[in-house]
Structure 1
Amino acid sequence: MRLFVFGAGYSGKAIAREVVKNATWAGGTGRSQEGLQAMEASGLIPFLFDGESLSEEVKSALVDVTHLVQSIAPGEDGDSILKLAGSDLRTLMPNLEWACYLSTVGVYGDHQGEWVNEASECCPVSKRSVWRAKAEAQWLAASKKGGIPVAVLRLSGIYGPGRNPFVKIENGTARRLVKPGQVFNRIHVDDIAGAAAHLMAKEAGGLWNVTDDLPAPPQDVVLYACELMGVAPPPEIDFETADLTPMARSFYGENKRVSNARLKASGYELRYPDYKCALSAMWKDGNWSG
């Protein structure tokens, strides 16, 4: 296996760490020199990519790539990699056997707290989710055109070492916003990596919700983290009167419970089925700060 990760950020590097042991070669892209240095620790040979054009070094590396992970967010004009490939993946990667596109459960939009699965209607609300839905369609079309299985991973709220309520509590930015009836799903970054590796081994394509078992109110998660730390929780804040950025407020405009039944039926067992076991493990292991 020769692996390439476009946009080797938090999730991309986690996937690389999971599967690089099975790779004969692995590379990835970043937009800055700082990002490239962090990539090497995940076992990736680093390449710069500005999102607009591919260097000759990247083009040369892609010729022999067999497995691809695409984690770069799309823009209004669609997916940047497919744009460069002309929607034909084999133009850049003639030896490609499997690809993975990291999307978001935001493509479902608001379902007023009801359960959704991969067959549910997508009604994205935010501009970024509309772009994600468009990019998903592009990747599924490219999969069909090239005869290459493409797994589209719809990720819920990502957390893990360095990105969790403990960090916010420690730096004083944690808040308990309360909007009655509001729930969110979450996913530990190690389960993103595990699910990607699982689907890669099965050469599975199509849509996959990568999310936990327990959609829960966000204030409950902060409260549980405070209990583990043995500190007083921040006061509850009414969502309607809270001082929030437009982006932060937009997240609360979507309320749904996301099912992971298809992923589990495929044989994947979540390492962290809910936020309680994940936060407890991170606190016990002391790796929450990253």
Structure 2
Amino acid sequence: MTRPLPPLNALRAFEAAGRHLSFTKAAAELNVTPAAIGHQVKALEEILGVPLFHRLTRALRLTEAGQVALPTLGQGLDKMAQGVEQMRAHSDNGVLTISVSPAFGAMWLVPRLEHFRSRHPDIEIRIDGTDRLVDLARGDADVALRYGPGGYTGMRTDWLFSQRNTAVCSPALLNGKYPLRKPDDLRHHALLHIDWKDAEASWRMWLLAAGLHDIDPTRGPRFSMENMAVQAALDGQGVALVGDILVADELAAGRLVRPFDQSLSIPLTFSYYLVTTEDSAGQPKVSAFRTWLLDEAHERVGSRS
């Protein structure tokens, strides 16, 4: 369908001027002179045959036509900008945008990215650390790393690994006034909680599985992100209940320890997945990252301590 439109620059000038009610502020936003904004708006009014502003001595005021059109035009320009970003996101321009939760990114992905960069120095990486849902089909990111049940409809999904929820703490807690040797000793130590953990991953479930019914499962500080609870454990502030693979590096280095038998670790239902669209999966940068990530994940799972 043919869409007869005035020049885009004129529309942008009017929208910015109408939003700011100032040619000067619109000019600063669009990096032109106030006179240029004034000329563009005047040209638009002549094309449309209707005034858009009342030009007062020291102010601008929108006419009724300008007031009616401004919101719709602003939304249209936003949609155009979004469309341009989508086109850029689907181009194989060497920049790989990875959507990942801040905790998983900090604890597992970022420490390993140097391995990927050494293998693919031509691929620039952008990490979007967020827990919000992103629309890969719309171009919000090239790939997403997600924790969940899998089955992401319409997406190409690769299983990375599952985990066991395990109690970890600083080695310092194994000694001291109340040495942490057996689960019952937890009554003398703070329990570090993670807000988003569901029932199966909670201290309540862990204590019940350990046969401890007289320890308050709700006491202790709470954290919104797993890496903050892990940092508190590293600092000796208490005992955290976290996925074993996320803290594998800290355990291997001895910065964290498992104070109890591994049989007390609880398998978690959810797993970590790599998610891409079918369209983007064939892009060289996405394919390279997928190959590396699957190798890295399976190698780490195979060496789980």
Sort the TM-score into its range (normalised by shorter chain). under 0.3
TM-score by length of 2: 0.26
TM-score by length of 1: 0.27
Larger Rg: 2
By percentage of residues, which structure has more helix? 2
